[in-house]
A and B are shown apart, each in its own frame.
Chain A
Amino acid sequence: MIAEAGLAALWLGAALAALQLGLALGLGGAGDRQLGAVRAVAVGQGALSLIAFAALVALFVRTDLSVLLVAENSHADKPWLYKFAGTWGNHEGSMLLWVTVLALAGAVVALFERRLEERTLGMSLAAQAALSLGFFAFLLAASNPFERFDPAPLAGRGLNPLLQDPGLAFHPPTLYLGYVGLSVAFSLAVGALVTREVGPALARAMRPWVLAAWILLTLGITAGSYWAYYELGWGGWWFWDPVENASLMPWLAATALLHSLNVLASRGGLRAWTMMLALIAFSMSMAGTFLVRSGILTSVHAFAVDPARGTFILVLLTLYIGAALTLFALRIATVREGAPFEIVSREGALVANNLLLSVILGIVFFGTLYPLIAEAVTGEKLSVGPPYFDAVASPLALGLGALMLIGPQLRWRRDSLPIFPRLAPGLVVALAVLVATILLAPTIGLLPRLGLAIGAGLVPASLMPLIGRSLRRTPLATWGMCVAHLGLAVAILGMASDSAFTREKLASAVPGERLEVGPWLVEFRSVVPLAGPNWTALEAELRASRGGGATVLKPQSRFFTEPPTTTNEAAIETDWNGQLYAVLGAQDAETGRWLVRLWWKPFVTLIWLGGMLIALGGTLALIGRAWRARATRRRFEEAEW
Chain B
Amino acid sequence: MIVRPKHQRLILLVLALAAMLGAVLLAMWGLQDRAAFFVTPSDIAAGRIQPGKAMRLGGMVVDNSLSREPDGVTIRFTVSDTKATIPVRYRGITPDLFREGSGVVAEGRVEDGLFVADTILAKHDERYMPPQMAGAAVPAR
Give me the interface of A with B, judged by CB distance under 8 Å.
157, 160, 162, 232-236, 239, 270, 272-273, 295-300, 302-305, 337-343, 351, 355-356, 358-363, 366-367, 370-371, 374, 380-385, 387-388, 391-392, 396, 414, 506-508, 557, 563, 565-568, 583, 585-586, 588, 590-591, 593, 595, 597
Tell me, in angstroms, the Cα distance from A392 to B3 when the chains sit together: 33
Q: Which residues of A contact B114 (CB under 8 A)?
A: none
Tell me, in angstroms, the Cα distance from A242 to B3 when the chains sit together: 42
A-B contact number at CB 8 A = 166
List 18 A–B pairs whose Cβ atoms lie within 8 Å, in order of A's numbering: A296-B130, A303-B128, A305-B131, A342-B1, A358-B16, A359-B26, A363-B23, A363-B27, A367-B27, A370-B31, A383-B35, A384-B35, A385-B107, A388-B34, A414-B2, A563-B125, A565-B96, A595-B93
Range of interface residues on B (Cβ < 8 Å): 35 or more
Tell me, in angstroms, the Cα distance from A239 to B6 when the chains sit together: 44
Q: Which residues of B contact A342 (CB under 8 A)?
A: 1-3
Would A508 and B34 be within 8 Å (CB), given that A300-B128, A362-B23 are in contact?
no
Mark each residue of chain B from 4 to 37: 1 if its CB lies under 8 Å from any CB of chain A, else 0.
1110110010011001101110110111001111
In addition to A298-B136, A380-B38, A591-B68, 5 A-B residue pairs with Cβ atoms within 8 Å of each other are: A157-B127, A300-B128, A382-B37, A566-B96, A597-B92
With both chains docked as a complex, state the minimum distance between the C-beta of A349 and any C-beta of chain B, in angstroms: 13
Q: Tell me whether B76 is interfacial, beta carbon within 8 Å.
A: no
Would A340 and B5 be within 8 Å (CB), given that A298-B129, A300-B138 are in contact?
yes
Interface residues of B in 31-84 (CB under 8 A from A): 31, 34-38, 54, 56, 68, 71-73
Would A298 and B130 be within 8 Å (CB), given that A382-B38, A506-B92, A597-B93 are in contact?
yes
Q: Which residues of B contact A367 (CB under 8 A)?
A: 27, 30-31
Would A507 and B141 be within 8 Å (CB), given that A273-B16, A337-B6, A355-B15 are in contact?
no
* Contact across chains for A508 and B73 when beta carbons are under 8 A apart: yes
* Contact across chains for B37 and A363 when beta carbons are under 8 A apart: no
With both chains docked as a complex, state the minimum distance between the C-beta of A156 and any C-beta of chain B, in angstroms: 13
With both chains docked as a complex, state the minimum distance between the C-beta of B95 and any C-beta of chain A, in angstroms: 9
With both chains docked as a complex, state the minimum distance between the C-beta of B99 and any C-beta of chain A, in angstroms: 10
* Contact across chains for B27 and A366 when beta carbons are under 8 A apart: yes
Tell me, in angstroms, the Cα distance from A358 to B21 when the chains sit together: 11
Tell me, in angstroms, the Cα distance from A384 to B5 when the chains sit together: 42
Tell me, in angstroms, the Cα distance from A366 to B128 when the chains sit together: 25
- B38 closest partner in A (C-beta): A381
* Contact across chains for A341 and B2 when beta carbons are under 8 A apart: yes
* Contact across chains for B9 and A337 when beta carbons are under 8 A apart: yes
Tell me, in angstroms, the Cα distance from A590 to B97 when the chains sit together: 19
Q: Which residues of B contact A361 (CB under 8 A)?
A: 23
- A157 closest partner in B (C-beta): B127
With both chains docked as a complex, state the minimum distance between the C-beta of B103 and any C-beta of chain A, in angstroms: 14
Tell me, in angstroms, the Cα distance from A337 to B129 when the chains sit together: 50
* Contact across chains for A366 and B23 when beta carbons are under 8 A apart: yes
- A339 closest partner in B (C-beta): B5
Give me the interface of B with A, judged by CB distance under 8 Å.
1-6, 8-9, 12, 15-16, 19-20, 22-24, 26-27, 29-31, 34-38, 54, 56, 68, 71-73, 91-94, 96-97, 107, 124-125, 127-133, 136-141
Q: Which residues of A contact B139 (CB under 8 A)?
A: 234, 239
Tell me, in angstroms, the Cα distance from A385 to B71 when the chains sit together: 30
- B137 closest partner in A (C-beta): A298
Q: Which residues of A contact B72 (CB under 8 A)?
A: 507-508, 588, 591, 593, 595
Residue of A234, A298, A565 with most partner-chain B CB within 10 A: A298
- A506 closest partner in B (C-beta): B73
* Contact across chains for B16 and A355 when beta carbons are under 8 A apart: yes
With both chains docked as a complex, state the minimum distance between the C-beta of A157 and any C-beta of chain B, in angstroms: 8
Residue of B5, B31, B37 with most partner-chain A CB within 10 A: B31
Which residue from A160, A339, A387, A583 sits with its C-beta under 8 Å from B128? Answer: A160
Which residue from A340, A387, A585 sits with its C-beta under 8 Å from B93? Answer: A585
* Contact across chains for B38 and A340 when beta carbons are under 8 A apart: no
Q: Which residues of B contact A565 (CB under 8 A)?
A: 96, 124-125
* Contact across chains for A358 and B23 when beta carbons are under 8 A apart: yes
With both chains docked as a complex, state the minimum distance between the C-beta of B111 and any C-beta of chain A, in angstroms: 17
Would A362 and B5 be within 8 Å (CB), given that A234-B139, A302-B128, A593-B72 are in contact?
no
Would A391 and B30 be within 8 Å (CB), given that A298-B132, A508-B72, A597-B93 are in contact?
yes
- A509 closest partner in B (C-beta): B72
Tell me, in angstroms, the Cα distance from A194 to B136 when the chains sit together: 46
Q: Which residues of A contact B132 (CB under 8 A)?
A: 298, 381
Tell me, in angstroms, the Cα distance from A338 to B124 when the chains sit together: 54
- B55 closest partner in A (C-beta): A382
Q: Which residues of B contact A351 (CB under 8 A)?
A: 12, 15
Tell me, in angstroms, the Cα distance from A303 to B27 when the chains sit together: 29
Tell me, in angstroms, the Cα distance from A431 to B5 when the chains sit together: 38
Tell me, in angstroms, the Cα distance from A162 to B125 when the chains sit together: 11
Q: Which residues of A contact B15 (CB under 8 A)?
A: 351, 355
With both chains docked as a complex, state the minimum distance between the C-beta of B10 and any C-beta of chain A, in angstroms: 11
With both chains docked as a complex, state the minimum distance between the C-beta of A410 and any C-beta of chain B, in angstroms: 15
Q: Which residues of A contact B138 (CB under 8 A)?
A: 162, 232, 300
Q: Which residues of B contact A304 (CB under 8 A)?
A: 127-128
Which residue from A355, A387, A508 sits with its C-beta under 8 Å from B71? Answer: A508
- A583 closest partner in B (C-beta): B93
Would A235 and B141 be within 8 Å (CB), given that A374-B35, A391-B30 are in contact?
yes
* Contact across chains for A362 and B24 when beta carbons are under 8 A apart: yes
Tell me, in angstroms, the Cα distance from A605 to B15 when the chains sit together: 37
Q: Which residues of B contact A305 (CB under 8 A)?
A: 130-131
* Contact across chains for B19 and A358 when beta carbons are under 8 A apart: yes
* Contact across chains for B31 and A355 when beta carbons are under 8 A apart: no
Q: Which residues of B contact A384 (CB under 8 A)?
A: 31, 34-36
Tell me, in angstroms, the Cα distance from A396 to B22 when the chains sit together: 12
Tell me, in angstroms, the Cα distance from A310 to B5 when the chains sit together: 44
Q: Which residues of B contact A363 (CB under 8 A)?
A: 23, 26-27, 30
With both chains docked as a complex, state the minimum distance between the C-beta of A59 and any C-beta of chain B, in angstroms: 20
- B29 closest partner in A (C-beta): A392
Tell me, in angstroms, the Cα distance from A563 to B127 when the chains sit together: 10
* Contact across chains for A507 and B129 when beta carbons are under 8 A apart: no
* Contact across chains for B94 and A382 when beta carbons are under 8 A apart: no
Q: Which 5 pairs from chain A and chain B are nearest by CB?
A: A508-B72, A362-B23, A566-B96, A585-B93, A392-B30
- A366 closest partner in B (C-beta): B27
Would A295 and B3 be within 8 Å (CB), given that A337-B8, A359-B22, A363-B27 are in contact?
no
With both chains docked as a complex, state the minimum distance between the C-beta of A181 and any C-beta of chain B, in angstroms: 25
With both chains docked as a complex, state the minimum distance between the C-beta of B55 and any C-beta of chain A, in angstroms: 8
* Contact across chains for A340 and B8 when beta carbons are under 8 A apart: yes
Tell me, in angstroms, the Cα distance from A339 to B8 when the chains sit together: 10
Tell me, in angstroms, the Cα distance from A155 to B16 when the chains sit together: 56
- B141 closest partner in A (C-beta): A234
